[in-house]
Every structure is written in structure tokens, then in C-alpha cells.
Amino acid sequence: MSIEIGEKEIELSNKFFQITEQMPLKVYDEGDYLYFLVEDKDSALRKLKLLETAFKKKVIIYQDSDDLDQFIKNFFNNVKIHHYEVEQIGNEKHLLLFVDGRDAKRLYGRGKSRFNVAKKILKEKFNMDLHIRKVPSLG
């Protein structure tokens, strides 16, 4: 699978590298937010304030993983996920995340930017479509 990288992504990635000395695996520009997928989140987070100043945007950094379970935990680390299911419908795979109803806003992010990025990454990395199911809060 090849992923096309545009001029803007190259520019953002290079600037990220200049500040963190780490090349992001992928960058997503979602208006007021920049999302970076990296191999070493902790070292990148140490430069978060510098990144936000340089980019003049809110910067969100996620740890990459090729393991679906770990990727979900990394990406939705502040969302209560009750469970998830992977369904195969024809040739397409669908990831159903069952989340605490109170956490839905957090999962989607402002203007659904987090949800949009999650959909893109899951499609690119795991060839899956993302679907959210809210479940009642348990306490």
C-alpha cells in the first residue's frame, strides 16, 4: 500500500523533525489542529509547547502501533471504550467502537477532527472503516 504525501505534509513533517529530531510517520492537518503519528510519543511531547508555537495550532501527538488493540488504546487513551468488534462485510472490514455515551464528545473532538483523523488512519493502516456506538454510562 502506498500513501501519497503532499507538499504541505512534507513541510509540516520537516518542521516537526527540526524541533523534535524525530520524523513523524504521518501528519494530518485538520484546521486548528495538527495530528502527528510518531514512533516515540514521549520524546515528542517534551517539545509540545515549541511545536504549538511554531505551527500556531494545537498539536496532538499519538504513539503508533501495528497492533489494532494497542493502536485503539493509544489513540483513544482518554475515552472509555467498553469494547470493540471487527466485522467483515463482503470485502470490507468495519471497526465498531462501543464507547461510554458521556465520552462521545471527547472521542469526536472539536469539529469531529479527532474522529476524522482516526477514520483516515484506520483506513490507511488497517483497511477498516470506523463506526461509533454509544452505550449507556455505567457509573
CATH of the domain at 127: 3.30.300.20
Co-location of 77 and 59 in the same domain: no
DSSP letter at 6 equals -
pTM: 0.88
List, for residues 70-81, the tens digit of each pLDDT value.
Answer: 999 999 999 999
Distance separating the N- and C-terminal Cα atoms of the chain: 43
List, for residues 102-124, the tens digit of each pLDDT value.
Answer: 888 889 988 899 999 999 999 99
On average, the pLDDT of the chain sits at 92
Given 42, 63, 84, the domain boundary residue is: 63
Co-location of 58 and 72 in the same domain: no
**Is there a contact between 49 and 29 (Cβ–Cβ < 8 Å)?**
no
Co-location of 73 and 127 in the same domain: yes
- pLDDT category of residue 4 using cuts at 50, 70 and 90: low
Give the per-residue pLDDT at 139. Answer: 57
Judge whether 108 lies within some domain. yes
